[in-house]
């Protein structure tokens, strides 16, 4: 499948007058998984916030199936099928796990979360508990389950595996691959290179606000990524 779902070209963005991301380009095709990797502080989260609509685009263009996205607010992008799972503050601590899952939906009906609750029994056991009682990794898992269950066409994940138990990271990878095979698209910022290897069709390496290399995961290989990240 080669239909381009999300495309950004020469995107420059940041905070006020300070531009953090400079001239970044990328595209996510329908049914594919693109990973963004880079050291801390290079601008990955800033890029994701801009794609989701929480920061303005200061230069360049942002398109979704050829429609210009730049002027649309986050909730309008969500309506078009672009969902975003941020790096931090991923759940509402005062609300139950179940309320966090259904928060964005008008009707609490159907089986949209059944697959996630089957894969992550830990969440199922704790549906009635306040999300604030979950560990950091469990909160990430809850945010992951919510975004996956929403069923958006394109899913922006910012470091989804941070603090998550290894066996659950493997399940996340399997779910992302299965949903990509079914035609959904993913743009995933990630530090965990084993996870990147499992999920990514393509990788963009960022450094100091710019893409320094990008290509197919199978062409680049893990050693190349490690070299760029200087692990
Ligand atoms: N709210 C903010 N206001 C001003 N500068 C910020 C803000 N958030 C992040 N930055 C700066 O932007 C740069 C990139 O941050 P970020 O996008 O979070 O990087 P990454 O996600 O790659 O670790 C950093 O230098 C950081 O200090
Ligand atoms: Mg970040």
What's the pLDDT tens digit per position in 60-82? 999 998 789 999 999 999 999 99
Which ligand neighbours the alpha carbon of 47 most closely? 1
Contact 36, 24 (CB under 8 A): no
The residue whose CA has the least distance to atom 7 of ligand 1 is 15
Q: Ligand 1: which atom is nearest the Cα of residue 49?
A: 17
CA of 41 to the centre of ligand 1 (A): 6
Q: Residue 140 corresponds to which tokens in the numbers above?
A: 């990430």
Residue 108 in this model has a pLDDT that exceeds 80 = no
CA of 47 to the centre of ligand 2 (A): 9
- The binding-site residues of ligand 1, defined as CB within 6 angstroms of any ligand atom, are 15, 20, 38, 40-46
Type and span of the H or E element at 46: helix 44-52
pLDDT in tens, 44-64: 999 999 999 999 999 999 999
The residue whose CA has the least distance to atom 6 of ligand 1 is 15
Looking at residue 143, its pLDDT comes to 96
Higher pLDDT, 139 or 106: 139
Terminal-residue alpha carbon distance, the chain: 33
Query: What residues sit around ligand 2, an ion, with C-beta below 5 angstroms?
Result: 44-45, 87
Q: Which domains does the chain carry?
A: 4-90+152-229 (3.40.50.300)
Contact 213, 45 (CB under 8 A): no
The residue whose CA has the least distance to atom 16 of ligand 1 is 43
- For the ranges 87-91, 97-101, 163-167, the lowest mean pLDDT is seen at 87-91
H-type helices in 151-181, by residue range?
Answer: 166-181
191/203 Cα distance (integer angstroms): 12
The residue whose CA has the least distance to atom 17 of ligand 1 is 43
Residue 110 in this model has a pLDDT that exceeds 90 = no
Packing angle, helices 136-150 and 166-181, rounded to 10: 10
């Amino acid at each position: 499948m080669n239909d381009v779902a999300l495309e950004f070209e020469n995107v420059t963005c940041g905070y006020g007058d300070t531009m953090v991301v400079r001239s970044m380009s990328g595209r996510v095709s329908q049914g594919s998984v693109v990973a963004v990797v880079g050291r801390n502080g290079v601008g990955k989260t800033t890029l994701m916030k801009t794609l989701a609509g929480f920061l303005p685009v200061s230069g360049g263009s942002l398109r979704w199936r050829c429609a210009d996205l730049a002027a649309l607010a986050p909730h309008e992008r969500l309506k078009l099928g672009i969902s975003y799972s941020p790096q931090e503050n991923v759940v509402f601590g005062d609300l139950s796990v179940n309320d966090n899952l259904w928060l964005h939906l008008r009707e609490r009906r159907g089986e949209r979360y059944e697959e996630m609750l089957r894969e992550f029994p830990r969440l199922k056991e704790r549906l009635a508990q306040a999300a604030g009682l979950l560990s950091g990794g469990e909160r990430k898992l809850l945010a992951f389950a919510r975004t996956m269950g929403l069923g958006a066409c394109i899913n922006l994940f910012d470091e989804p595996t941070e603090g998550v138990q290894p066996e659950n990271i493997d399940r996340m990878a399997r779910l992302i691959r299965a949903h990509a095979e079914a035609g959904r698209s993913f743009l995933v910022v990630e530090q965990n290179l084993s996870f990147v290897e499992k999920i990514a069709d393509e990788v963009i390496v960022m450094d100091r606000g710019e893409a320094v290399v990008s290509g197919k995961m199978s062409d680049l290989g893990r050693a190349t990524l490690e070299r760029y990240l200087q692990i």
